[in-house]
Amino acid sequence: MSGSSQDADIVVVGLGAWGACALWQLARRGARVIGVERYGLAGPHGSSYGESRMFRTACLEHPGLVPLAQRSRHLWQELERDSGAHLLDATGAMLIGPPDGRIVGGALRAAKEHGLDIEVLEERELRRRAPAHDGLAPGDIGVVEPAGGLTLPEMTIRAAVGAARSAGAEVLTETRVVALEFTGSGVAVHTATGRVLRAGQAVVTAGPWLSQLVPSLPLEVVRMPTTWFTPARPHGRFTLRRLPVFMRELDGGDVIWGHGVLPGGTELKLGLEDGGRHFATVDIESVDRSVSPADWSVLAKHLAGAVPGVGEAPTRAVANVYARTPDGQFVIGRPGRDARLLVAGGCNSHGFKHSTGIGEVVADLALGKEPAVPLGFTDPDRF
């Protein structure tokens, strides 16, 4: 626990989804904790922005992520109880493509290894169940996960920070952390306001800004356009029920993702997965947040044949950013085994679904407890 000269046991730097959930978990366990956010809560600057995110437990990115996603789903329900907010809609999730492809093949392997509840749709049934999808390649199949669905990023952040505050956490917004100074007794967190927060350890969950504060981490920042489309003619095939959240691997290897119109709305959210092919790496301090037709030209070309009828240009677009690691996996742990520092980052654009589970893992590690879900493959020293 903290000494009398310390402001807190732990300072959490960065209150995106991972940091907000870590703050919640630490506060509910009785830790004296301060959360610091550079901007306002749930704003457009970081990675946890855009109204919706896909949730699935058939994690094709790494088999070790399946137990984390399963735990995250349970913890989302706990956060809903703690906050009184509705944060996850189990509308089902669908992965489409060749059975030996990266998307469907990876999902099938994860489902087999972990005994997940899935349904496999052959092409004829896939066309019937998801009529918005056109231009399917011969042999394409669909993998449906009934427990999958949508999570709500901005609402999740506000709910987690609100629950943390209720449990005693102090929260500082519009406060930029400019340096971490490690001392014999802990860490001094220097802010641009001049305030110095002294604690036993710092948990840095700063997303695209993580490597600014912890330069030893080999992260790069990727600029990712996010787009919404409004069909010229509303049609039942574009509803969320008929077009649930999906990832679809196309001929040539590109992957599109998205979901149908939310109840009461008019727009479909549709996007392109990077895969290292399309999006620019940027300097987080000078990234261009404006958008132009160049941001959706490749996606629009694919949508014309794959999801026809949604139009050639989005009706809304934003530029998101996220941190990417060399191997596409997260970095969670203590660099150099330093007890004064714990990092969680490198979401690689597939990390939001794990937010509540990662919050628990971070709290476990910070408090010296063995995490319930082993994540050795995310060790920041693996590089």
Among 264, 382, 261, residue whose Cα is nearest residue 328: 382
- Phi and psi at residue 72, to the nearest 5°: -60, -40
Ramachandran bin of 154, using left for φ above 0, alpha for ψ from -120 to 50, beta for the remaining angles: alpha
Quickly name the fold that domain 93-146+220-324 has.
D-Amino Acid Oxidase; Chain A, domain 2 (3.30.9)
Q: Are 34 and 172 in contact (CB under 8 A)?
A: yes
d(CA 63, CA 97): 19
Q: Residue 311: its pLDDT value, please?
A: 87
> Which tokens belong to 170?
């102090």
Q: Which residues, 6 or more positions from 106, have their beta carbon under 8 angstroms from its beta carbon? A: 60, 61
Q: Are 360 and 74 in contact (CB under 8 A)?
A: no
Three-state secondary structure call for residue 281: strand
Question: H helices within 223-334, ranges in order?
Answer: 297-306
Q: Residue 4: its pLDDT value, please?
A: 59
Indicate the pairing of strand 88-89 with strand 119-121.
unpaired
d(CA 238, CA 234): 7
Q: Which residues, 6 or more positions from 279, have their beta carbon under 8 angstroms from its beta carbon? A: 222, 223, 224, 225
Q: Residue 233: its pLDDT value, please?
A: 83
Quickly name the fold that domain 8-50+153-217+327-382 has.
FAD/NAD(P)-binding domain (3.50.50)
pLDDT digits (tens, 9 = 90+) for 18-65: 999 999 999 999 999 999 999 999 999 999 999 999 999 999 999 899
Q: pLDDT 10s per residue in the chain (383 long)? A: 444 589 999 999 999 999 999 999 999 999 999 999 999 999 999 999 999 999 999 999 998 999 999 999 999 999 999 999 999 999 999 999 999 999 999 999 999 999 999 999 999 999 999 999 999 999 999 999 999 999 999 999 999 999 999 999 999 999 999 999 999 989 999 999 999 999 999 999 999 999 999 999 999 999 999 999 999 887 899 999 999 999 999 999 999 999 999 999 999 999 999 877 889 999 999 999 999 999 999 999 999 999 999 988 999 999 999 999 999 999 999 999 999 999 999 999 999 999 999 999 999 999 999 999 999 999 999 99
272-279 long-range contacts (CB < 8 A, ≥24 apart) are: 272/225, 272/298, 272/299, 272/302, 273/247, 273/349, 274/222, 274/224, 274/349, 279/222, 279/223, 279/224, 279/225
The residues with which 226 forms a beta bridge, in sequence order, are: 318
Domain coordinates in residue numbering, the chain = 8-50+153-217+327-382, 93-146+220-324
State how far the alpha carbon of 367 is from the alpha carbons of 32, 165, 182, in Å. Answer: 11, 19, 18
State the pTM of this model.
0.96
Alpha-carbon Rg for the chain, nearest whole angstrom, is 21
